[in-house]
Each structure stands twice: as C-alpha cells, then as structure tokens.
Amino acid sequence: MSVGKKFKIASIGAGNVGASVAQYCLELELGDVVLTDIVEGLPQGKALDMTQAGPIRGYSCQAVGTNDYKDLAGADLVIITAGLPRKPGMTRLDLLEKNGGIISGICENVKQYAPDAIVIVVTNPLDTMVYLAHKKLGFPPNRVIGMAGCLDSARMRAFVAMELGVSMKNVDTMVLGSHGDDMVPLPQYTVVSGIPITKLMPQDRIDAIVDRTRKGGGEIVQLLKTGSAYYAPAASAVRMAQSVLRDEKQLLPCAAYLTGQYGLDDIFMGVPCILGKDGVERIVELDITEAEKASLHKSAEEVRTGIKQLQELGLL
C-alpha cells in the first residue's frame, strides 16, 4: 500500500454502521468512498447526501453509491458491515447462519474485484465472521482484521471517564478476547494519564465497569429495541482504517489471526496489534495473570464453537 496517494475505501453495507463508516472516512479525508448495498437506491442516495455535506463540513473526498460489486475494483481498504443486526433476545451466535451466508457472498466479490485490499470485518458474531472471511478470501492473515477490541476498549474508556469525571482523551484501556460477554477487560492496563484506575477507584466500581463493558452492546440493543449500536462500532472500524491507510503504527486491540500467541492457534481473537500499511504488522503479547489467561481461553472456546457451527452448516 502506497502511503500518500488518494485511497479508495469500500464500505459494504449501507445501513447505520456502513453509512456512518462512510461519513467518518469522508470527515477524516481518508479517501474516496464506495458505499455498496444490495438495496437499489439506498447507497446511491446516502452517498449523494454525504457528498453534498462536503462543502459545509469541509471535506473534499467524495462518496459514490452502488449495487454492483464491480465498483470495488482497485479498493485499497474494504470495511464489511453488511449483515443482520442483533435484536433483543438474540445472542451473537443466533446470527451465525444468516450472516455467514452474507459474508461468504461478499468475500467472493472482494476476492475477485479488490484482491489487494486490506479487509476490516464488523459483522457479528465478529470473531467467527472474520475467521470465515479469512478462509473465503484466501488473503494473508495480516490483511484480514476484525473490529472488536477497539469498540470494547472505547466503551470501557467512556465508562471510566464518566465514573471519574475526567476527559475521555486521558483514558487508555485494553480489552482482549472475543467480542461478546466473554471478553477480557484488563483493569491493570487501564490508565488515566498514566495512572492505573486501581489507584483511582475502589475495586467494586472497577468490577461494575468491567461488567458494563462486557454487556455494552446488549445495553444499547435493549434501549434501542429495534436495532444495535452503530456510531461507536463505525468509529472504531474507521480508527483502524486510519492507522492502516496513514501507516500510523497505532497499537490497537483488534481481532487478529493467532499462531500461538497467548497459547492460541488458528483463531481470530481480540489482541493488541500494531496496525500499519500492511495491516496487522505485529501482535503484542502482554503480561497477563493466570486468571486473565484462563478467561481468554474460555473466550476462545466460544469462538471455536462458532467455527464448528459454520462447518456443520457447510459454510466452511
């Protein structure tokens, strides 16, 4: 990937997440955006609307909408958001069969029309879908990444800032594991301007924040009643895209392909990654407690269950 050129970004899925991804990319002037969806008129209308906001919002990148995957040709980066959202009472695994079929079809087209792209997957159940995408695409694993820990860490950052009455900009966190109720927030790696939260709040408040982080997506689903979160998931995917396209080498928690790190192999899980022009350029292994490692492996079992179900469904 040549840093410095004008990039072409494909956002696949023009629903709430995909449209927000496109808008954030334009606002940051990361590149021109191709908004793709199977619903005729939907991506075209939203893309035209976003482009017309450019003179007011001060960006010069443009968006185009399409129903034809051929328009992905030459895309440098693809963000896949298409799929059914989680609804009240549904687990992420409930979405497996339908979203698995959607992801499989999308990946066949990405493989054909954007074979050199770096791909970020947002569709749930996240860790299982990014594994499926990797297998269907056949791309090197560093070029297929799942958006998970970025979002979970952002939620924890927000909760810590709200609890302490500090700026969210001063809070850094790290959340590992699968993007679900078995995720592994790490309080010892959660700091406010370098000060661990263990020095700033009692353990019961830390425990409450960890629990709320784990249930962060479900809390929003229950409030919305007819859909799931989209502003923060889209912002998280675009944060990853920014680090890749601008070769920033940011250390971000993402679902990456593991080959023995943290004692896990042949699985995508949320771990700290250095993201640059080649995608996942390095996975960082943190010093975690035995209890946290056990939680991480429990989290992995949920993902392996999803992979096994994909195999039983004939999707893998």
Which residues are catalytically annotated? 179
Residue 131, CB-side half-sphere exposure with 13 Å CA sphere = 25
Residue 15, CB-side half-sphere exposure with 13 Å CA sphere = 16
**Contacts (Cβ under 8 Å, ≥6 apart) of 312:** none
Q: Kindly report the number of other CB atoms within 10 A of residue 226's CB atom.
A: 8
Residues β-bridged to residue 172: 191
Kindly state the tokens that stand for 282: 């390095």
Q: Could you give the angle at which helices 290-312 and 126-137 cross, rounded to 10 degrees?
A: 60
Residues β-bridged to residue 229: none
CA atoms of 308 and 313, how far apart (whole Å): 9
**Contacts (Cβ under 8 Å, ≥6 apart) of 53:** 26
